[in-house]
Structure 1
Amino acid sequence: MSDRRPLILGLTGSIGMGKSTVAAMFADAGVPVFDADATVHALQGPGGRIVTAIEARFPDTTGPDGVDRTALGEAVIGKPEEFAALEAIVHPAVAEEREAFLAAHAGAPLVVLDVPLLFEAGGWQAVDKIAVVSAAPDVQRARVLARPGMTQVRFEAILAKQLPDAEKRARADFVIPTDGSLDATRAEVGRVIACVARTTGG
């Protein structure tokens, strides 16, 4: 029995950098991708396995559709102890899902963990290599402000909670630019996969 395991590539990037697009490109190339955000949504959605625990700790924040994210946000925003209590419910469940994902793809040469706050939440310590998705500040700003309900104030507040793009790029093994064409970005994804294949002997 081989003791080889997949190389774990952490994929991250600040808001509006195109991380979801890049994650989809890895998936299209046949690389298994674990989407941390999608996992949280599933856990908190209809029938999600942490909905009951959230309702018990934060009454009236869930319903038939799972967690009411607005109500839950109001219950924890600006309240560090409450936010910590929520994280104590969410993080272990996400970790279990991540471990199940890794076990299911133990034979793959490469897997991607798509984690928005990879650096901020300490997840960088659990990956072998890091790819940061990046774009020019004006491109990032235009993308984010085009989102429904987004405002300049909200954008600045989100950025304030994220490690600056320059620091992320400095700590990355690979930087994938997304301010060119989709084909150029896809070529960069292919380059990363090829580089990883060489380092793993795949």
Structure 2
Amino acid sequence: MKKLDKDFYNRADVVKIAKELIGKVLVTQFGQVITSGRIVETEAYAGAIDRASHAFGGRRTNRTEVMYQPGGMAYVYLCYGIHHLFNVVTNQKDIPHAVLIRAIDPLQGINVMLERTGKKKADYTLTKGPGNVSKALGIHTGHTGWNLLEDEIYIASDEFAPAKKDIIATPRIGVDYAGEDARLPYRFILKDNPYVSGKKAERLKSNA
């Protein structure tokens, strides 16, 4: 596998990056423990102009400060006080774009993922949904600000390349508060992958 470099993350089009992350491999290596999975669902958040983004209107807080760093950083936040959600910061410094990783198809370290999640068997709920992704890979809010160009948390490309017709665009999930922006086709999924979250009918609808 080839680790994605800073040029991949530092581009201006966060929607394109979210789409291109489909099929890539998200890896964590903490000590000798390695876990990984193929990314099958993402959501783009376009910063200051995006009502669904934590940085809408240029909002800048202690939590979101990492979004204003150069692309290639991890932004991990706590949702509902329970779920640690892993995001990839993109674009140049002071432009707060990010991509939420919503689901992965497990590849390596499945037994470790089961231990971390407390599950008895490796069914599709293991890494379906962003909270489960982080739990299975051992990612938490303490990893916010970590550099994805290093070896502990990174994204890589292997020989797998999904066909364009198999990458489907839909509106994002759970952002009804964002008004018109809630309908933007900023969510990408790998067609027919069982780890993708959301309703089955939703998976079949394409706005691409």
**TM-score interval for Structure 1 and Structure 2 normalised by the shorter chain:** under 0.3
Q: Which has the higher contact order (CA 8 A, sep 6+)?
A: 1
More strand by share: 2
TM-score, normalising length: structure 2: 0.25
TM-score, normalising length: structure 1: 0.26
More helix by share: 1
**Larger CA Rg, structure 1 vs 2:** 1
